[in-house]
Chains A and B, each alone.
Chain A
């Protein structure tokens, strides 16, 4: 199985800050990586597909980059509603696997 390692496991930042979350795959997944946002009590939401393709309803302050084994989710101009857990998922190889998640808290 491809292991997905996210860092940091949690981050606390202020409104307006830039937050960067990394996801590392144990093997090359090319650009087959997705990012999700999960708020407590709600269903997770797909933010970014194929490493950098933003879903249509997602604000442009979210962006994704990377390929191969190293990927980044960046939130610029952090907003209060961005408080959530973010996790990555490789879509390259069965079994599909997820990162452990990064909890983003607003100071």
Chain B
């Protein structure tokens, strides 16, 4: 059974870069049927799609974040990564790693990892 596990620092200083990894187990990240992405949920707020990537190179980013984000795949490690630069308190959120169907519905989610931006 395929599983997703997010990892990364729980605390990031303002203006720095948030880096998260997602390890995919039980299946290959190179499966051509799937896309992979990140979603976040700030405390007490709704879900926000961050971006999506396919192992063949297609990327789709939320326009509100595109200038600050990089999402990439490491097929050798079977990992998905997120880099979000110049973070501020508004970037404090629970970050989810997700698998996406070709329809772009999210058919598998990680448990999420809480990232707090604070000095």
| A contacts with B, residue count (CB < 8 A) | 22
Q: Is A59 an interface residue (CB 8 A)?
A: no
Distance A98 CA – B98 CA, assembled complex (angstroms): 15
B4's nearest neighbour on chain A, judged by CB, is A43
Specify which of A42, A98, A99, A100 lies most central, judged by the most chain B CB atoms within 10 Å of its CB. Answer: A98
Taking A43-B108, A87-B46 as known contacts, 6 extra A-B pairs with beta carbons closer than 8 A to each other, sorted by chain A number, are: A34-B105, A36-B106, A46-B108, A49-B103, A91-B105, A98-B48
Whether A98 pairs with B47 at a CB distance below 8 angstroms is yes
The A/B interface has a contact count, at CB < 8 Å, of 55
Q: B-contacting residues of A (Cβ < 8 Å)?
A: 32, 34, 36, 42-46, 49-50, 55, 87, 89, 91, 94-101
Distance A34 CA – B108 CA, assembled complex (angstroms): 13
The secondary-structure label for the interface of chain A is: loop
Contacts A95-B49, A98-B46, A101-B46; is A44 near B106 (CB within 8 Å)? Answer: yes
Distance A84 CA – B101 CA, assembled complex (angstroms): 23
B16 → A minimal CB distance (Å): 25
The secondary-structure label for the interface of chain B is: loop
Chain B residues near A97: list those with CB within 8 A: 49
The residue that A91 contacts in the complex, of B46, B48, B63, B103, with Cβ under 8 A, is B103
Whether A43 pairs with B105 at a CB distance below 8 angstroms is no
Mark out the residues of chain B between 49 and 68 whose CB falls within 8 Å of any chain A CB in the assembled complex: 49, 52, 60, 62-64
The residue that B101 contacts in the complex, of A45, A49, A99, with Cβ under 8 A, is A49
Q: Can you report 20 A-B residue pairs in the complex whose CB atoms are below 8 A from each other?
A: A32-B104, A44-B109, A45-B109, A46-B107, A49-B107, A50-B103, A55-B107, A87-B46, A89-B105, A89-B106, A91-B103, A91-B104, A94-B63, A95-B49, A96-B52, A96-B62, A96-B104, A98-B47, A98-B48, A101-B46
